[in-house]
Structure 1
C-alpha cells in the first residue's frame, strides 16, 4: 500500500511537471506568434488567448489531484448563460476562477515544473544506480564506474555492498520525499485554484456531516445502553423479584415475611423505574415495531387524552425514527404539564420523501420555542437530520407543533 502511494505520488509529480513544461512551450509559442502577427491584427486574439491558458491547466490539475487526494477539487468555472463562443469567452474573462487558474499556470510553468521533474528523476535514478552497483560489479569485475551524479567509483566488493545498502536507504528516503512533495504540491494547487466561497462551502458541508456523524454515534450509544439495561439489569431485577415473591410465599408469618414483602415491593418499583428509564433512553418498542407503534404507545401513556391519526408502516433510519419519537415525547410532556388542554392529537405520515409529524392540542396556547420547555433542543436536533420544526401557538390556542424530516425508507428485515 505504501509503495502504491509512492508510485501515485511520483506519477502526480511527473504529470504536473510535463504539464508545466508543455504550458511553458505553448505560452512561448503563442506569445511569439502573437507578437509577430500583431501588426496584422491576427496576433491580437493569440495574445488574448494567453489569459485562458490556465483553464486547461486547471482542468488537468483537477484530474491529477485524484492520484494523491481523495477529496475532489471542485471546478470553480461558471456555466455560460448561453451557447456559443462569445458567451463562453465573456464568462471566462469575467470570472475569478479563470484568473486563479492563470496564476497557478504561471507558477507552474516558471517555478514548479522543474522541481517536480527533478524530484522524480533524482528519486528514481539515484536509488536505482546504487541498487544495481553490486550486480554491475559482479558482472564487469574490478574498477566498475558507477555513475551516481558522477561522484562515486566502486573498486571492491565492500564498496559494492555498501552502495547496495545505501540504495535501499535512498529508495526509502526518496519514496518518503516524493510523497511529501506531492502532498505539498497538491495543497498549494488546491489553495490557488479553490475560490474562497468554495472553501467556505466545503467547510459547511464537512461541519454538517460531522454533526450527523455525532448524532448517529449518540443514537448508537443510546441503543447500546438500552440493550445492556434491558438484557442485563432488567432481567436480574425480574429474577430477584420472582425469588423474593417465592420466598415471601414460603416464609412463615412474622417479621421475616413482612421484610420479604417490603423487599418484593421495592424490587417491583425498581423494575418499573428501570423500564421507564430504558424507555426514555431508547424505547425497545421503537426498535422492534417502528415509529407508528411507538407514537401510539406514547399517546396511550399520556395523562391527557390524545387521538392518534399517525399512520406510517415504513421504517426509517435509527436517527430519523429516534428524532421523530423524542419530538412527540417532548411535545406530549409539554401538553400535559403546561398547555392546560384536555385533548390532543397526533397526525402525520410519509409522502414525497418527507416524514411529517404534527402534535396539536386545545390548550391555552402562548407557547414559544425560547421559553425553556425543551423545544429549542428539539429544533436543533431536527435540523441536524436536515428537518424543520415549526410551532404555531397563538394566545388562547390551539397549539400546533409540526416536524418535517426529508428521509428515505429502509427495507424491513423479515
Structure 2
C-alpha cells in the first residue's frame, strides 16, 4: 500500500497535470472554435493540422509526466481522430480548470473565515458574532464541498486518461502491425539463438568431449605398449579417470541441450541440479505451487542455467541466488550474483536468453553495473495458475 508521502506526491503531480490541462484547454478551444472551420481551406490545412499535432503532443507529455499514462500506448492519430480528441479534451480540461478554480476560491475563503474565528470577529464580516453551531455548520459544509471537489478532480483525471486511451491509443490495425513486427523480430532472434546454440554444442563436443576421448585413446595405446606392469597399471588408472571426466563432460553437454530432469521432476528439480553442479554456492528460492507448462519451464530453466554459467565464466562471483516466484499473470525468474558486474546485455549469451524470453512473450532485463552485483530478470506468462 502506498505511503502517505507517496500519495501526497501523486496528488501534487495530479494537480499540476490538471492545471496544465486547463491551460491547454484554452488553446484547444481556439483551435476547435476558431481554426477548425477554416480547415476547409486547403492552404490552411497543414498549419491547422500541425497545431493539432502539437496540442496532442503536449497532452501526451502531460499525461505521461503527471498522470502516469503509458507512453507506449501513444500513437500519432489521424486528423479526424485528433479533432475528435481535442473537442472532448477541451470540455474535460475546462471542467477540471473550473473545479480547480472553485477549490482555490474555497481555500481562500476558508483561510479568511478561519482567521476571523481566531480573531473573534464574525464570520463573513457581519456585526453579530457567530455561535459555535454556526461555525461547525460552516466547517462541515466546507468539508463536504472539498470532498466533492476532490472526487470531481479524480473524475476529470479518469476522463482525461480514458480519452487518451480511446483516441491516442493504437487502433486494432496498429496493434496487429506491431504484433506482426514483433513476431518477425522474435522469429529472427529465435533462429539466431538456435544457431548460436548449435555452434556452442559443436564447440563443447569438439573442444571438450572429443579431446577427452582422444586423450583416452592415447593412454590406452600407451598402456598396451607398456612392458612394465606398474607403468601399465598407472596408465590404465589415468585412462579410467579420463573416461570418467569424459562422461561428466558429455553429461554436462546433454544437460545444457535439454535436461531430462524437466520431464521427470519439473523445473524445481532441474534447478536443483543447476545449483548442485555449480562451483560456487547457489541458493534456490522456488515459490511456485504447481507445475508449469513444459515450454515455460524450458525457457525458465535455460534463463537460470545460462545466467549461472555466464556468471561463473565472466563474473567471478562468490555466491549466486536463483529465485523463481509467481507474479501477476506469470512467473519471474531472477538470478543474482555478487561478481564484478559489467555484463553486456547484447553479448551472445545474454542476447540469446533475451531471444528465448521474447519468443515466449516475456520480458528480459539485465542490471549489471561495473563492480556488481549482476541481476538477470525474466518475466514469463504461464498457461496455468500458479
TM-score, normalized by the shorter chain, greater than 0.5: no
Task: Work out which of the two has the higher radius of gyration on C-alpha atoms and give 1 or 2.
Answer: 1
Normalised by the size of structure 2, how large is the TM-score? 0.41
Normalised by the size of structure 1, how large is the TM-score? 0.38
